[in-house]
């Protein structure tokens, strides 16, 4: 009861209630909240601190920016309380409607900026797309490899424009996109907002040092990203770390090719991968390789490699009392 009262007191202030309602609509940055609420950043930051401390909203840092969203239900009882409070706000309340209009303006600005960046780089991306099988076929192949019935938490590594989350986000409970490019994260954030995928979130981070705990995800996708990696084996090992036992990794990337201009003009570190090395990386990371799907193109072939995380029994440690109990059962 004490935590319930504490949470209610945190939300029982007009600005904090407005913040909670805005954060329920998706991730927002501090500077965006100051515009929506028309209040100073120090004041908004103080209110955010109170709500975070009570577990009603969550915060994550992306470079010099900080983003906030309503708390995930799996992270404590504060999340359930936050949702119930937001649901009680009258949908025709004047202040609520005004904040929604201001939030829509911020989202529109995000989309405009993201589109400008996308247009500036589209020529390069479009050229590469002409070299391999239609993108829709690659996407269908990845979707077919994802066991949606057992995938609740999905990680998309190198999420880029967020296309994979846009495709698969509706089939999972939680989708998380990871990328090093803040410009691409801005594009993805705008796209996911437009698609209404509030269950998906984005994180700035490195594929070699994923900012998530061990055994956090049921599946991970890596869509035409691995050829940019200078240490693809290390990336696969790090992805395996955050997969739960039985979790699946799905990689779509190029088979070996000789288009050197992709390295010199488009920053590709690797000119494709052969099956033996990818499967070797899987096995070294404790992953069991699965059948490969090939999508031939001209001149680039896209392969879809997948593997499942196996239980490493060598790492299981059984204490003496438990071992004695097992021995007793065996001898009975």
pLDDT along the chain (332 residues), means of 10: 85 93 87 92 93 89 76 77 92 93 86 63 63 86 89 94 92 93 86 89 92 95 89 92 96 91 78 91 95 91 95 47 46 50
Are 175 and 28 contained in the same domain?
Answer: no
Are 37 and 139 contained in the same domain?
Answer: no
In a domain, 127, yes or no: no
Contacts of residue 24, Cβ cutoff 8 Å, sequence gap at least 6: 70, 82, 83, 86
Say how many domains are in the chain: 2
For residue 209, the model assigns a pLDDT of 94
In a domain, 186, yes or no: yes
Are 54 and 169 contained in the same domain?
Answer: no
For residue 330, the model assigns a pLDDT of 41
Least Cα distance to 115 among 208, 186, 44, 213 occurs for 186
CATH number, domain of 220, equals: 3.40.50.150
For residue 64, the model assigns a pLDDT of 67
Give the other-Cβ count within 10 Å of 134's Cβ.
12
For residue 1, the model assigns a pLDDT of 77
Are 198 and 288 contained in the same domain?
Answer: yes
Are 75 and 197 contained in the same domain?
Answer: no
Are 209 and 311 contained in the same domain?
Answer: yes
Q: Which domain holds residue 30?
A: 2-89
CA distance 249 to 275: 15
Are 69 and 199 contained in the same domain?
Answer: no
Read off the pTM. Answer: 0.69
In a domain, 114, yes or no: no
């Amino acid at each position: 009861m004490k935590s319930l009262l504490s949470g209610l007191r945190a939300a029982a202030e007009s600005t904090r209630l407005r913040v909670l309602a805005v954060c329920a609509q998706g991730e927002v940055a501090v500077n965006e909240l100051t515009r929506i609420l028309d209040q100073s950043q120090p004041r908004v930051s103080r209110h955010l601190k109170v709500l975070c401390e009570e577990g009603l909203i969550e915060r994550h840092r992306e470079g010099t920016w900080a983003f906030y969203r309503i708390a995930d239900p799996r992270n404590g009882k504060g999340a359930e309380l936050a949702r119930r409070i937001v649901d009680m706000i009258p949908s025709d309340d004047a202040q609520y409607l005004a904040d929604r209009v201001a939030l829509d303006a911020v989202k529109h600005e995000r989309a405009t900026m993201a589109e400008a960046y996308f247009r500036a780089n589209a020529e390069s991306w479009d050229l590469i797309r002409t070299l391999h099988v239609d993108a829709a076929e690659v996407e269908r192949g990845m979707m077919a490899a994802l066991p949606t019935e057992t995938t609740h938490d999905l990680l998309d590594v190198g999420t880029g424009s967020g296309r994979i989350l846009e495709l698969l986000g509706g089939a999972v409970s939680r989708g998380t996109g990871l990328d090093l490019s803040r410009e691409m994260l801005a594009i993805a954030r705008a796209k996911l907002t437009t698609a209404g995928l509030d269950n998906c979130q984005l994180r700035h981070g490195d594929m070699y040092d994923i900012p998530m705990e061990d055994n956090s995800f049921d599946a991970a996708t890596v869509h035409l990203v691995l050829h940019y990696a200078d240490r693809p084996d290390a990336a696969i090992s790090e992805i395996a770390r955050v997969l739960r036992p039985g979790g699946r990794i799905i990689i779509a990337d190029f088979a070996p090719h000789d288009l050197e201009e992709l390295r010199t003009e488009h920053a590709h570190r690797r000119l494709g991968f052969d099956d033996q090395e990818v499967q070797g990386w899987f096995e070294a990371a404790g992953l069991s390789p699965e059948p490969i799907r090939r999508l031939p193109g001209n001149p680039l072939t896209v392969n879809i490699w997948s593997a499942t995380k196996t239980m490493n029994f060598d790492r299981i440690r059984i204490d003496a009392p438990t071992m004695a109990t097992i021995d007793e059962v065996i001898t009975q």
